[in-house]
Structure 1
Amino acid sequence: MAVEPLLATRAQRGFFITVAEAIAVLVMVDEEVSFTSGYKTLSCYLALFALAELFELFMCYDALRLRNIIQLVGILLFHLALMVMAALQVEQTKTALVTRSEDDCATNFSEVNCTGPGTLWNRVEPYLIVAPCLIAASLLLMIFWTKQLYAEFGWAVFHIVGANPKMKAMYRWYQIMICLLKFDFFFFIGVTMQLLIVVLNTSSAEFGITIAAIPVVLVLLVFCGYAVQREIKWIMAISQVLMLAAMSYFYKLVRFYQPGSKAEYATTRATLTTFTIVAFLILFATFAVGLRCFSDFDRGLQPSKVNGGSSYTPVATKLDYFGGGGGGYFGSSGNMSQRQSSYMGGAPVGQRISIE
């Protein structure tokens, strides 16, 4: 059984196309609301969805390229989180737009701040409701395709690390670590984007600190990924310490509900709370898995980490084995011995007698 090229199978194409349909959700809502400073909550919502969709497409392509089933499962969970965020956004958008009571609107009607026919909320609400429904439908399709890709990608992992159960387990933890680092990036950017667009005053010190934290965290994630792949212990140790320090960012959650500051977060509190909690949990999981990967350093996996997924040498199929011209199964004993050697890690077996 050969390792199929990228997007060569029905399951791979089906998964990628299903993820790509999420772009329709953003286009659908953007038809009604433009990115203007007057609608900060809606601008933030659209910006988050744009980032999430681009990130998910990248993660999908990356998972298919690397034959990483762990990352596919992560995409399913991420898609579920998108559905929750889309559902939360319905009430948050209403809170941001509808700021006048019915009695006030009866005497002083406003297209933006009232409900009813002809208002902005009346035009946007159907799209906001349809968004989580479409995401839920696509999630079911993605689960179906992932089930089919599980067997296909299992062969690719065998191609990289062989049949040794310990090596397969170590490689699986490495895949989890790399996947978590990618999700750390998204959720950190997601929290930061909401704070910068909706909440923080550009003249405040907190705004400057938040901006300055972006390159620091990005460098941390990149160096951590490089260290775990190349098994560089001192960089990995520094990255682990910085992860512990970054968890102190969780104090932001308290500010969302403090009496003196909770009014600032009224229109984004639900999504900010969700993003912050998920970001903290993923960062903590990254730290824990990082320790596990650290313990696997210098145990023979490093070449597989560096070369895994970058190239796959085709493995002969049954058609190759029984082909003519001396290249069949029984007529190419030298090639067969090399294949057995590559999978078993030993010396090539002796040539077999040809019966052609």
Structure 2
Amino acid sequence: MPTALSTKRLMRELGQMSKSSHGSHVRLVNCEKMDLWSVAILGAEGTLYAGEEFRLQFRFPADYPLESPEVVFVGKRVPVHPHVYSNGHICLSILYQQWSPALTVEAVCLSILSMLSSCTHKMVLGQRKLSAQLRKSTVPTFYIVAALLLAAAFIIAESYILYLTKDGYDVAKRELWQIADVQKAVSTSITTYMVYNVLFITAQAYIVFLCAEALANQDAIQVIVVVLFYFICTVYTTTRYISFYVWPSLAARLFTRDSNMHLMQITVVAAYAVALVALVVLSYRLKKDAGWGVFKRLGADVVLHRAYKWHQCLAILLKMDIYFIGSYLVQMSALVLKADDTETWLQITVFIPFSIMVIFCAFYALHGERRRLMACVAACFFLSIGYFVFKIVRVCSPDIMHKPGDPYEDSRPYFMITIVVCLVLVLASGAVSVVCIRNFDCGLKEAIFYDKLKRRHLRMYLAEPAAAHAESVDDEVPLLVLNSHRASQATARGRFPLE
């Protein structure tokens, strides 16, 4: 809904357009909704588009004119132009990074007309595909609702499996066997199964967090990573089913005749597969909206887009590191390590604090563009590869596999998946860290800072009483912030802004 600031500005522009001398080329068609206008523009004489009429749709945000409107060509007639996409999106700097609150609807229309008039040839297109135009899409709503429903369903299912596991163990302990060594072995195995149930439940909570953050930041890469996360969960649940019913251990045989457990595990595997397909479809649709949001915030600067892509890649890799390295530490601490083992104390005093420190420093160096610190973080990631390779060799060592006292007896399949995922993640994190170091000082830090500063200023501005606002909505503060951003960005690239 338009704010008082936005409404006042739009009403003034309506009056100006009715008195404009450009009425033959720019004509307001519909403004029944104050935040959604339809404007017709007529191609200028002597140009490739002479006599052709096109329809523009202006969607005004609540903070207009501090934030740029969303402008697209609509209808069946979309101009064939190198800077106009087939779905109506327009590549024009003043609609994104170069937007100024001093610009008006009429000024934007004239700039678009000027862009069309300067074209010397129409871009030849193949088969034109009518993509979804830039309107408020229902896909983000479906996406977050689907993520919440799936998380709720899987949490309930895993909680029920956890209950069946504990109940089956209690029944077996009470009625079926009384041999101490067997009790100890099965008790350890049951603990393993219950720990992984808890990890499955926490994974769903983490996935919901990733989905919500991906929508809030319009992060296309994180949307894709959520799909990858579901794929890993599908692999885990399939491995669990195999360890229960294909090659069952002594403890897993307790559930061979439990029809409820069998049905639940098959259902969870099938549900993960169906959820994976559904999320792939939704993510593909959502990726277009997310990509558009990034394009609007950063403009058409190719260097910034490339740097931002790698910035987001490293950020999401670090978020994946948090969960999977954390789950690795939980598995090691709860299932493998013993109080009289030297490795236990090394894990507690060295590896856990080291992991927390590296991930924290990685986030700090990434957002602050600190080259030396990021170089140290990348080195730590590459050194961690040796540790995880050692753990793979240790877990698969013939000296302990299937021997009495094997600490990985029932957790080996899950544990190996976790170690391999952690190994891939630290390798990717190290490589992407090196790329990000090369992209530092290209202006991305200033662009992100400006976006946050602009949003913070808007919240402060709208929180003030209406009487405190100046008569003119084109106040100096947003312009000063904008100019400060442009100056800092130009300086970061080795250029100096004009006086």
TM-score band by shorter chain is: 0.7 to 0.9
Shift of 1:211: 2.9
Shift of 1:224: 0.7
**Hey, what's the Cα distance between the residues in 1 that align with 2:306 and 2:60?**
23
Q: Which residue of 1 aligns with 2:401?
A: 262
TM-score (norm 1): 0.76
Aligned residues: 309
Alignment equivalent of 1:236, drawn from 358, 371, 374: 374
Alignment equivalent of 2:295, drawn from 158, 162, 171: 158
Q: Would you say the 8 A contact 2:315–2:363 is kept in 1? A: yes
Q: Which residue of 1 aligns with 2:209?
A: 58
Shift of 1:162: 1.1
**Hey, what's the Cα distance between the residues in 1 that align with 2:344 and 2:306?**
43
Q: Which residue of 2 aligns with 1:179?
A: 316
RCO higher in structure (CA 8 A, sep ≥6):
1
Structure 1 pair 272–160 and aligned structure 2 pair: CA distance change class (3 A)? same
Shift of 1:93: 3.7
Shift of 1:310: 8.2
Q: Would you say the 8 A contact 2:158–2:201 is kept in 1? A: no
1:148-193 deviation digits (Å, cap 9, x = unpaired): 2222112211232111111111111111110111111111112222
1:85-133 deviation digits (Å, cap 9, x = unpaired): 1100112245897528xxxxxxxxxxx854554x4xx432211111121
**Hey, what's the Cα distance between the residues in 2 that align with 1:86 and 1:207?**
28
Q: Which residue of 1 aligns with 2:151?
A: 22
Q: Would you say the 8 A contact 1:173–1:289 is kept in 2? A: yes
Shift of 1:79: 0.7
**Hey, what's the Cα distance between the residues in 2 that align with 1:147 and 1:4?**
28
More helix by share: 1
Shift of 1:333: 11
More strand by share: 2
Q: Structure 1 stretch 271-280 or stretch 25-34: which is displaced more?
A: 25-34
Structure 1 pair 92–23 and aligned structure 2 pair: CA distance change class (3 A)? farther
Amino acid at match of 1:230: G
**Hey, what's the Cα distance between the residues in 1 that align with 2:452 and 2:153?**
31
Alignment equivalent of 2:331, drawn from 153, 178, 194: 194
1:280-305 deviation digits (Å, cap 9, x = unpaired): 11111111111111011112111224
RMSD: 3.3
Amino acid at match of 1:164: D
Amino acid at match of 1:196: S
**Hey, what's the Cα distance between the residues in 2 that align with 1:165 and 1:126?**
52
Structure 1 pair 9–306 and aligned structure 2 pair: CA distance change class (3 A)? same
Shift of 1:312: 5.7
Q: Would you say the 8 A contact 1:44–1:194 is kept in 2? A: yes
Alignment equivalent of 1:219, drawn from 353, 357, 368: 357
Shift of 1:59: 0.9
Alignment equivalent of 1:301, drawn from 433, 444, 463: 444
Q: Would you say the 8 A contact 1:69–1:153 is kept in 2? A: yes
Task: Please list every run of at least 4 consecutive aligned residues from structure 1 whose deviation after the TM superposition is greater than 4 angstroms.
Answer: 1-5, 35-38, 94-98, 307-313
Q: Which residue of 1 aligns with 2:53?
A: none
**Hey, what's the Cα distance between the residues in 1 that align with 2:453 and 2:341?**
46
TM-score (norm 2): 0.56
Structure 1 pair 308–280 and aligned structure 2 pair: CA distance change class (3 A)? farther
Indicate the percent of aligned positions where both proteins have the same amino acid: 21
